[in-house]
Structure 1
Amino acid sequence: MKKIGLLLVLAFTVSTVFAQKKVKLDKAIAYDEDATGVFIFGDWGRGGEYKQKELANAMGAAAKKFEPEFIISTGDNFYPNGIASISDPQWITSFENVYSDHSLNINWFVVLGNHDYRGNMQAEIDYTKISKRWNMPAAYYSFEQELEDGSKALFVFVDTNPLNDEYYGEEKYASKVATQDTTKQIIWLKKTLEESNADWKIVTGHHPLYTGGKRIEDPNDVRNHLLPILKEYEVDFYLAGHEHDLQYIKPSGKTHHIVSGAGSEVRPTGYLETTVFAESRQGFGYLSLKKGAAHLSFIDYKGKLLYETNIVK
């Protein structure tokens, strides 16, 4: 009873502090009622701070207007060290009471980030059984979604943490990544992509394969593991976070790379030769899909359109 009482007090306190503010959405944001839309963002769990709540309000206003099918979280769901259990107060202070708009009470599909690995990863998976909207049935999983026009999209969610080779030498990650069967995950990923005849193939992982952000000069172990697979199976989009910014990068090949990790604290970003857009500003991605055509928008915490583009397949 004491634990439940504490959570109720926290819920009331946080909802009082983070009172809802009306967001005026940019009228220029494109909306196609014949397409299926999803919101993409990550690196958010900071108790409403660093404009996390302001962004949540903007997402709520956008969701009310555009009615996305679901929300994709690209990981680092709770800072700084993940969560302790399914009853950790951060479920209230960083998730439930922050994304409180009724329009955000839709399915969230979530992956694990490196900060989630510092806590109880299994608790984030187990919360799927408690929450109506939180979905992470395993560290990696997939599903096919029928789109508004009858076409199909395959959504694949991977755990990139054990694919980051340097983590095996870092004390805060080593013991946990060592328990993961990376060969099993790679075999599963290839099989999942190979067996799907969906019109769109979309893979989400926490670590980006390309970035002009903070880690622009760092070795990219995850890219070494995943990029050949994305190319072989002609994946259309790779969605990631980890870099606390917004980026759209289009290297040679079929795959479009979207980095959406500006859910709370942001960092300076930059450009690669293949960067189309980059911005260091709290915001989220809005991707809408129909047969043969996609539309990508980045929207900031004030509801302002930062960038948009049409992608023809």
Structure 2
Amino acid sequence: MTIKKIHLLIVFFAFQTLFGQDSFIESKKTAGYKGDFIPELQSTKDGFSFLVLGDFGRAGEYYQKEVAKQLGNAALMLDSEFIVSVGDNFYPNGVASVYDEHWKASFNDVYTHPALYIDWYVALGNHDHRGSIQAQIDYSDISRRWNMPATYYSRTFELEDGKKLLLVVMDTNPFIPGYQNNELKYPRLKDQDAELQKQWLIETLDTDDKAVTWKVVVGHHPLYSGGKRKKSQDTIDFEKQFADVFDTYKVDAYICGHEHDLQVIRPKGRYTTQFLSGSGSETRPTGEREGTIFAAAEPGFMSFTLNGKTMLIQSIKAHDNSSEILHSIELKKD
């Protein structure tokens, strides 16, 4: 157990003592066990872990609070380094300013588990674009954990074995043609230079750092879906714009949301695996398409644990104070 995890445990005990929370329960191996730990949640040797949440900001309604509790438990168990949000952080119309009540109702008052006071790397969804994008950027200077330095950005993390993870966060909204002619909903999109962002994306992925073993891109809109937007023109257009780019630059994982479910898809002949984690609060029916590895219409999130050789991704259901690993998949390096 790391020093960091020991500190988190001490804080967690203190919160229980002060606020009368349920007793700390030891991890169980029994599937379906209802408690404060997630059964069978796994890590890799010398693992570097992060969690992925999407489409969550609903003032604690739907399943948001249940998901938040299990997200905290997973962060503690995996000693997570950070959390990724794939966008639609605030429904239905983003935030108006850094003083908007949504910051309290949909973020600070919901994600209260001590283990969630780590860095959140945040992408923008279409609902966020209906409000002030600048407010979400500026909130990075107010909140210790909220990180959005720009509408798109990248971070590089060193793993314990000396290898590196390149995390690239896109703003996918300027690439959705249907949004461009809707100034009522998306008044600021006309100011975004999509081609400049795409050029930046390619230059960032085309790194000459030989230690970069894993490349992960984060965006809101999916390349593929078996859900509501399976045949959506927006999805078809986005695939045409980026599927080949991601394959060319050996992007290992594309992480997204927009659909309110959990999906893992890698079409035949593709290098990049898509991980869709958009059920941070509301869910809707899903389904399959060519290349579907997993799909579930359940509230939850995903965990990513990696070292220089393997990346383990687990899809976690969170509901009614219970949790369950619905699916696990491992990506490997030679």
State the TM-score, normalizing by the size of structure 2: 0.85
Q: Distance in 2 between matches of 1:65 and 1:229?
A: 35
**SS of alignment partner, residue 248 of structure 1:** strand
Give, as a single letter, the amino acid of the residue that structure 2 aligns with 1:247: Q
Q: Distance in 2 between matches of 1:121 and 1:103?
A: 27
**SS of alignment partner, residue 83 of structure 2:** strand
Select which of 221, 230, 246 maps to 1:230: 246
**SS of alignment partner, residue 206 of structure 2:** helix
- Note if 1:287 corresponds to 2:310: no
Q: Distance in 1 between matches of 2:208 and 2:252?
A: 13
Native 8 Å contact 2:39 2:323 kept in 1: no
Give, as a single letter, the amino acid of the residue that structure 2 aligns with 1:244: H
**SS of alignment partner, residue 149 of structure 2:** coil
| 1:245-256 equivalences in 2 (<5 Å) | 245-251=261-267, 252-256=269-273
Native 8 Å contact 1:152 1:199 kept in 2: yes
Structure 2 CA distance for partners of 1:221 and 1:20, relative to 1, 3 Å: farther
Look up the match of 1:149. Answer: 161
Higher alpha-carbon deviation: 166-175 or 152-161 = 166-175
Number of aligned pairs?
A: 296
Structure 2 stretches lacking a partner, 5+ long? 1-19, 24-34
Q: CA deviation at 1:171?
A: 3.5
Q: Distance in 1 between matches of 2:301 and 2:206?
A: 30
Look up the match of 2:227. Answer: 213
**SS of alignment partner, residue 266 of structure 1:** coil
Give, as a single letter, the amino acid of the residue that structure 1 aligns with 2:259: E
Structure 2 CA distance for partners of 1:172 and 1:281, relative to 1, 3 Å: farther
Look up the match of 2:213. Answer: 199
Q: CA deviation at 1:147?
A: 1.2
Q: CA deviation at 1:36?
A: 0.5
Q: Distance in 1 between matches of 2:43 and 2:217?
A: 23
Q: CA deviation at 1:268?
A: 0.3
| 1:116-155 equivalences in 2 (<5 Å) | 116-155=128-167
Look up the match of 2:6. Answer: none
Give, as a single letter, the amino acid of the residue that structure 1 aligns with 2:133: M
Look up the match of 2:275. Answer: 258
Q: Distance in 1 between matches of 2:286 and 2:22?
A: 28
Q: Distance in 1 between matches of 2:284 and 2:54?
A: 14
- Note if 1:312 corresponds to 2:332: yes
Structure 2 CA distance for partners of 1:33 and 1:105, relative to 1, 3 Å: farther
**SS of alignment partner, residue 188 of structure 2:** helix
Q: Distance in 1 between matches of 2:309 and 2:67?
A: 31
RMSD after superposition:
1.6
Structure 2 CA distance for partners of 1:300 and 1:196, relative to 1, 3 Å: farther
Native 8 Å contact 2:52 2:303 kept in 1: yes
Look up the match of 1:172. Answer: 184
**SS of alignment partner, residue 59 of structure 1:** helix
Select which of 48, 73, 76 maps to 1:36: 48
Q: Distance in 1 between matches of 2:38 and 2:98?
A: 37
Native 8 Å contact 1:47 1:90 kept in 2: yes
State the TM-score, normalizing by the size of structure 1: 0.91
- Note if 1:109 corresponds to 2:118: no
Q: Distance in 1 between matches of 2:277 and 2:65?
A: 16
